[in-house]
Amino acid sequence: MAGNRATLLIMAGDGIGPEVLAESRRIAEWFILRRGLAAVLTEELFGLAAYRKHGRLLGEDALPRMRAADAILFGATGGLSFAELPPEVGKSDSLLRIRKALDLYANLRPIKALPALAEASTLKARAREGTDLVIVRELSSGIYFGEPRGVETLPDGRRRGINTHSYTSDEIERVARVAFELARKRRNHVTSVDKANVMEAGKLWREVVEALHDADYADVGLSHMLADNCAMQLVRAPHQFDVLLTDNLFGDLLSDGAAMIAGSLGMLPSASLGPVGPDGRRSALYEPVHGSAPDIAGRGIANPLGAILSLALALEWSLGRPADARLLESAVARALDEGARTADIMHAGAKQVSTRGMGDAVLASLERLARG
C-alpha cells in the first residue's frame, strides 16, 4: 500500500503487451478519477526492454516491487526477438520463475459466451449459449517445474528430453480449496480434471481432491473427468461446467482450446493468486491469456479486452471493488453489443476498431453506465 492507496504495478512486457496494457491503464485511471478508486499506478520493465537496459529480463529491484504491490497488471512475454537472449538469461528470469518466487499457485481463467460474439466463435450458438465457467489451474508445480528435467545425450548418441510431472498432496489440496471456495460463490459444482487412468500423479490428484471434498466441502457438487474427455466436452456442451479444477499442464491446454467459447484467445483474462498472508494480503498477478503475438505487435490491431477484463479481476480479488468489477464487465459487454470489434473477433456487419478504439468504446460504455 502507498499510504491508504493500493499499488497497481504495471509490467507491459513484450510484443503486444505494451499496447493492451496501455488500454488497461486508461481504464484504471478512469476508475481512480470517476469512481474514487484509491490506487497509485507504477511501472516496471520486464522482458526484452528490461534486458536491453539491465542485461536481464527482470531488474534487480523488480521482485521486491512485485511482492510489495497489491496487484500486478501484466502484459505478455516472449516472441521472436527472444532469440537474441543468452539461454541462461531466459531461464533465470522467466515468467515461470516469477510464478514460483511469488508462489502464485492458483490461476483463475473465467470463460463466458457473450451473445454479441456468437459470430466470432467457430462453435454453433446452441453449443456455447449460456456458458459461464472458470478454470482453476494449479500454476506453480507439475510438469513445468518438476525435476529432473533437461536434455541429455545417451551413450549411443541419441538425445533424450526429460520433464517430470510431480505433485505433492499439499500442492493439490491448496488449489482444490480455491476451486471449492469459488464454486460456493457460483453454481456450487467442481469438475476435477486428471488422467488418473494412466498417471500416478493423476491418481493422487483424484484421491486428494476427493478426500478434501468429503472432509470440508461435502455441500459442493464434485465430479471427476479425464482430461481428454474434458477437451471434447468443452466443445460439445461447455455450459455443463461451473468450476473446472486442473493441474498446470491440462489447465494450460484446455483453457486455450476453450477460448473459442468466448470467440478469441484475446478475450480471456486471468488472475494468478498466491496464499493469503497473516495481514490478509496476497501476491496477485493479472494478465490476458494470449501471448506476445509478435506478428501483430506495433500494428494497433491487438484485442485489449483480455487485459481489460484482467483489470476487472484485480478489482474483485485484490482491490475489494466487486461492484466496479461488475461495472467494467458490463461496459465490455455493452461495447461489444454496440458493434465494436478488433480484427480477431471481426465479422460482417460489425465495426472494426483499433486497439485504442476498443479502449475508447469501453470507456464510453463506462461513462454511460456510470450515469445510469
Run of H or E including 364 = helix 355-371
d(CA 63, CA 44): 10
The reported pLDDT for the residue numbered 348 is 86
Contact 317/310 with Cβ under 8 angstroms? no
* 148 prior amide bond cis, ω within 30: yes
| 176: nearest Cα among 107, 245, 111 | 245
pLDDT at 1 over 70: no
Catalytically annotated residues = 144, 195, 228, 252, 256
* 3-class secondary structure, 16: coil
pLDDT classification of 92: cutoffs 50, 70, 90 = low
Residue whose C-alpha cell reads 483453457 in the numeric block: 255
Quick one: average pLDDT of 116-125? 94
The reported pLDDT for the residue numbered 93 is 61
- pTM, two decimals, is 0.95
What single string gives the DSSP state of each residue in 187-244?
A: TSEEEEEE-TTT-HHHHHHHHHHHHHHHHH-TTSEEEEEEHHHHHHHHHH-GGG-SEE
Tell me which DSSP letter residue 55 carries: S
Tell me which DSSP letter residue 108 carries: E
Domains within the chain, CATH numbers bracketed: 1-104+268-372 (3.40.718.10)
| 115: nearest Cα among 323, 290, 338 | 338
Residue whose C-alpha cell reads 501483430 in the numeric block: 296
Tell me which DSSP letter residue 46 carries: B
The reported pLDDT for the residue numbered 96 is 85
- Out of 92-96, 264-268, 294-298, 320-324, least confident range: 92-96
Q: Are strands 351-352 and 146-153 parallel, antiparallel or unpaired?
A: unpaired
pLDDT classification of 340: cutoffs 50, 70, 90 = very high
The reported pLDDT for the residue numbered 52 is 83
**Mean pLDDT over all residues of the chain?**
94
Q: Are strands 106-112 and 271-273 parallel, antiparallel or unpaired?
A: antiparallel
* 3-class secondary structure, 284: strand
State pLDDT tens for residues 259-287: 999 999 999 999 999 999 998 899 999 99
Q: Tally the residues of the chain.
A: 372
Q: What percent of the chain has pLDDT over 70?
A: 96
The reported pLDDT for the residue numbered 81 is 64
